[in-house]
Amino acid sequence: MKYKNGYTIFDNIMSRNPTNQALTYYGNNIAPHAETQRALYTVPAGKMFWVDSIYLYTEILTAAAPAGFRENFYVSDVDAQAVIISDCVISKDQNTIGNNASKSISQLGLFLAGTVIEGKTLDIGTGGTLRYYQSLHGIEFDEY
């Protein structure tokens, strides 16, 4: 099967040696912690990567004193710039045990060879414990 994008004709990506890739992290972390890498994926040379789903979940297990900003996110390097592609935030005002935030995205887009995707967390509060869950799924396939 072929489709036309206006400039050239590509094979259907499913016919170009597709491989499922998953980038996940699950953990309980004590505050404070700086921006910390939890998962890493680099699109290999000669490949492309279609991100078809992202899910992020953050939950307060023990309250912080004082509370701070907490973030659970995926970031990618685009033209040598760090760009957040999805994030899940709990503000300092939501410092109650059991409070949580989640985000899900589907069909995010196409990443080219050499692109780096990182799962990261950040907590600038003092004390307290958070549960983080990150899941990114995509299909890696041969370039043209």
Mean pLDDT computed over 12-40: 88
Residue 1: its pLDDT value, please? 45
CB atoms within 10 A of CB 98: 8
Record the tokens describing residue 39, joined without a space: 């998962």
> Cα 117 vs. chain centroid, distance in angstroms?
7
User: Domain 20-142 carries which CATH code?
Assistant: 2.60.120
CB atoms within 10 A of CB 129: 16
DSSP β-ladder status, 129-142 and 47-62: antiparallel
- CA separation for the pair 92, 128 (Å, rounded): 12
Residue 11: its pLDDT value, please? 56
Tell me what the pLDDT averaged over the chain comes to. 87
Residue 15 DSSP class: G
**pTM attached to this predicted model:** 0.84
